[in-house]
């Protein structure tokens, strides 16, 4: 209690000087908290976007071969086939967990007696909703029984439900597609895809049992880094190049969306962003730390006589050192927490004012408990560092010379 009273007495003795110095500390920690909160919000938004879909996947679709290869001319159309699925799984068993296909008819009409929509349909496997980043709103999605029995079932996009059924519950009702009746089994939402899903095997029948497929979604395994993801992409391109006779380095022959590498690069970028935020925030705090150190130097100079008396009556150097450093820590921590509270308030206000969007621009820009502990440790360390040199200077004061000081 004596030590606390001494610290409070010292702080209240020079209120204006202490307040101005503390403001620099508060401002520095305030900026650090706001920047950390915004970077956390950006990271949460990125995680939210990627969590809606499978990240360990690659999506392949046919393109145009732009290079001559084995006597074949350039500008050849490359269409993926049903047999490519088995080929990909067989030749890349070490990195491919599964390969699924999609068939689409974007101009097909889905109708009811009430109205119609022209967003068409996509014949898909049960994994398509997750890999595509969709969210099931009602009912269920395509399942394995639907595929095996070639059922005429359909999953509508939620934007089509009001047009086709008004305010009625669509589950179990019928729609007309390609002059055939389909039963609505589910409703889904997606940020950009508006197609309706039917079983892949049913879509093949509608397409006259054609082997041509729109795209292939490959689920990966044992691929964890960007380099491994790049090698996996090259392996898939080489496999399809041998099957469709195009150069392995002809990147336009087959378009590949490498979601894994995209996710890993985004994660790395967010890590660099957080590191940059910490560096900027700590450099901003540096001005406040220098101010605290200066005020402690002045305090030591003003209390030279007091320190000399205490040394003369037997005070150990460690006691003097501890008091000076604790005073510095008290100033830094007190005003630092003011900056933390204001920073959290402003960050919460920013989070509440950002309009909702899909994908979100900013999601929950808050300070976690871990960050709060880290900031507390930074404040204590900064305060101790700011008071270290003034404290060491106080130990150099000789009692005899201090007692002569006026």
Residue 401 pLDDT > 70:
no
CB-based contacts of 174: which residues, under 8 Å, 6+ apart? 112, 181, 182, 183, 184
Select from 259, 280, 301 the last residue of a domain: 259
Domain shared by 92 and 215, yes or no: yes
Domain count, the chain: 2
Chain segment 176-204, per-residue pLDDT in tens: 998 899 999 999 988 778 889 999 999 98
What pLDDT score does 331 carry? 77
Q: Report the candidate in 301, 307, 297, 295 with the shortest Cα–Cα distance to residue 331.
A: 295
**Final residue of a structural domain among 259, 288, 306:** 259
Which of 306, 320, 331 lies closest to 386 in space, CA to CA? 331
Q: Report pLDDT digits (tens) over 37-46.
A: 888 787 777 6
Q: For residue 13, what are its two tokens?
A: 């003795």
CB 109 within 8 A of CB 177: yes
Place of tokens 């460690």: 318
How far is residue 324's CA from residue 386's CA, in Å, rounded to a whole number? 10
What pLDDT is attached to residue 132? 74
Residues 6 or more apart from 304 whose CB is under 8 A from it?
397, 402, 405
Same domain, 235 and 169: yes
Q: What pLDDT sits at residue 6?
A: 66
* Higher pLDDT, residue 229 or 51: 229
Query: Which residue from 53, 88, 68, 117 is spatially nearest to 213, judged by alpha carbons?
Result: 88
119-140: pLDDT as tens digits: 889 998 988 887 777 889 999 9
Nearest C-alpha neighbor of 333 from the set 375, 276, 391: 375
- Quick one: pLDDT at residue 144? 92
335 and 211 in one domain? no
One domain, residues 255 and 271: no
Range of the domain at 390: 2-51+264-404
pTM score above 0.75: no
Question: Do 206 and 348 belong to one domain?
Answer: no
192 and 71 housed in the same domain: yes
> pLDDT > 70: what percent of the chain?
88
Last residue in a domain, options 259, 278, 302: 259
Q: Are 181 and 94 found together in one domain?
A: yes
Q: Which of 45-49, 57-61, 99-103 has the lowest mean pLDDT?
A: 45-49
Same domain, yes or no: 104 and 235: yes
Say if residue 195 is in the same domain as residue 213.
Answer: yes
Which tops the pLDDT comparison, 294 or 91? Answer: 91
Q: Please indicate, yes or no, whether residues 166 and 185 belong to a single structural domain of this protein.
A: yes
Matching residue, tokens 């956390």: 40
Give CA–CA dist 102/124, Å, rounded.
Answer: 5
- State the pLDDT at residue 400: 62
């Amino acid at each position: 209690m004596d030590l606390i009273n001494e610290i409070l007495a010292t702080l209240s003795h020079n209120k204006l000087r202490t307040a101005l110095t503390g403001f620099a500390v508060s401002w520095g920690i305030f900026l650090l908290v706001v920047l950390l909160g915004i970077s956390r919000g950006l990271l949460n938004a990125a995680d939210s976007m990627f969590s809606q879909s499978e990240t360990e996947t690659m999506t392949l679709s046919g393109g145009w071969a732009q290079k001559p290869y084995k006597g074949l001319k350039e500008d050849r159309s490359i269409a993926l086939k049903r047999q490519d699925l088995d080929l990909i799984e067989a030749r890349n068993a070490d990195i491919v967990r599964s390969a699924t296909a999609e068939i689409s008819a974007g101009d097909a009409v889905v109708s009811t007696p009430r109205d119609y929509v022209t967003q068409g349909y996509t014949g898909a496997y049960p994994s398509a909703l997750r890999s595509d980043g969709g969210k099931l709103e009602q009912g269920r999605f395509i399942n394995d029984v639907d595929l095996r029995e070639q059922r005429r079932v359909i999953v509508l996009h939620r934007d089509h439900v009001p047009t086709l059924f008004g305010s009625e519950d669509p589950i179990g009702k019928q729609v007309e597609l390609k002059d055939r009746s389909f039963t609505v089994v589910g409703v889904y939402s997606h940020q950009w895809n508006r197609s309706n899903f039917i079983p892949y095997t049913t879509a093949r029948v509608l397409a006259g049992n054609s082997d041509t497929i729109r795209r292939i979604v490959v689920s990966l395994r044992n691929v964890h880094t960007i380099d491994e993801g790049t090698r996996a992409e090259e392996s898939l391109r080489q496999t399809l190049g041998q099957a469709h006779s195009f150069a392995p380095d002809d990147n336009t022959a087959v378009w590949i969306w490498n979601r894994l590498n995209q996710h890993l690069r985004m994660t790395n970028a967010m890590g660099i962003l957080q590191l940059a935020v910490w560096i900027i925030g700590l450099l901003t705090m540096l001005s406040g730390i220098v101010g605290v150190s200066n005020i402690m130097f002045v305090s030591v100079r003003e209390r030279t006589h007091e320190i000399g008396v205490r040394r003369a009556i037997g005070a150990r150097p460690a006691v003097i050192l501890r008091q000076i450093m604790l005073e510095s820590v008290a100033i830094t921590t007190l005003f630092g927490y003011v900056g933390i509270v204001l920073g959290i308030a402003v960050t919460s206000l920013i989070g509440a004012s950002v309009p909702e969007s899909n994908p979100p621009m900013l999601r929950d820009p808050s300070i976690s408990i871990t960050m709060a502990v880290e900031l507390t440790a930074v404040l204590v360390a900064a305060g101790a560092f700011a008071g270290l040199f003034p404290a060491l200077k106080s130990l150099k004061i000789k009692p005899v010379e201090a007692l002569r000081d006026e």
